[in-house]
Amino acid sequence: MIHEIIHVNVKLMRRRDLRLALAILWIAACSDGAPKEVVRTPDERFADLPDFPYAPHYLEIDGLRIHYLDEGPADARPILLLHGEPSWSFLYRKMIPGIESAGLRAVVPDLVGFGRSDKYVRMEDYSYQMQVDVMNELVRRLDLRGAVLFGQDWGGLVGLRIVADQPDRFAGVVVSNTGLPLPEEGQEAPFLFRAWQAFARWSPIFPAGRIVDTGTVQDLADEVRAAYDAPFPTRRHQAGARIMPSYVPISADDPAVPANRKAWEVLHAWEKPFLTAFSDSDPITRGFEASFSGIPGFSGQPHVTIEGAGHFLQEDKGEELGAILVEFARRLPQSKGR
């Protein structure tokens, strides 16, 4: 009898050990230390895009191939143009010619998960901090100096953190239709934004071209909408574009809040020129420009409201916005770009 009990207990222990081992393996597979699956949008998806003759450039950062455009003289003042959600460097095709013809250098990266940059397959492999870290490294690797940041949408959320992390590399900042969220206790995000977060994450379809189109005053041509769809041929390619809205800090306990607060400490001492160029027809960020008024470099700048432009003002008024950037850069003290 005792022998039978021991035999049964050993069998149960073995089964329990097996279950425990399987559980450990499952947890390890889901942990941050597990290999992160990456996909790359086929190059043919980017063939024959309208008004986009620019050659791709790549850097390997954290095991990812990160794409960027680099137009204009290599030793000129760099203008770092950062896109938002769910766009990519194609968004800046109307601004690059004016920047280049003014003798400036346009550096236009694609965030991880967007454009021609590599894309994590799992939503949980993305984060606000990850995007900041990768773009910080790109700025260091390109050794940008005397640069001007231009950030719109997520381009501002990421770009302003880069400026705060590497302030000596930047001579000035221009922001459009963006912010650097620092939500307070009890503050709630607008219902429409929370609905957008839910749609982006859970909708069975994610039509990037149509999403960009809804953020413009002018209707986009079919081939332009298709260019915004190009980076996302399958749902596996869409993880970053779907999850990044959920990483916008909208509550005081968001993990990004301490880093954003630290960035604001730098910005509240920023005396270099800081210009806002918001549009007049963006319901998402209307009034956000006032949040930057406490930055010392904000004072005395010719802040502008661009008329007849929506959230993606680069589409509606790209040439006008490019001219504003050029004039801003010309007012800065002379500095070599590298």
Catalytic residues: 153, 282, 311
> Of 334, 288, 110, 312, nearest to 218 (Cα)?
312
The H-or-E segment that residue 173 falls in is strand 170-176
> Of 142, 163, 170, nearest to 72 (Cα)?
142
User: Helix, strand or coil for residue 296?
Assistant: helix
Residues 6+ apart with CB under 8 A from 14: none
Residues 6+ apart with CB under 8 A from 145: 78, 169, 335, 336, 337, 338
> Tokens 């109307």, residue?
94
Tokens of 134: 């990768």
Residue 86 preceded by cis peptide, ω within 30:
yes
Say how far apart CA 217 and CA 237 lie, in whole Å.
28
Q: Between the CA of residue 95 and those of 98, 111, 199, what are the distances in Å?
A: 6, 18, 30
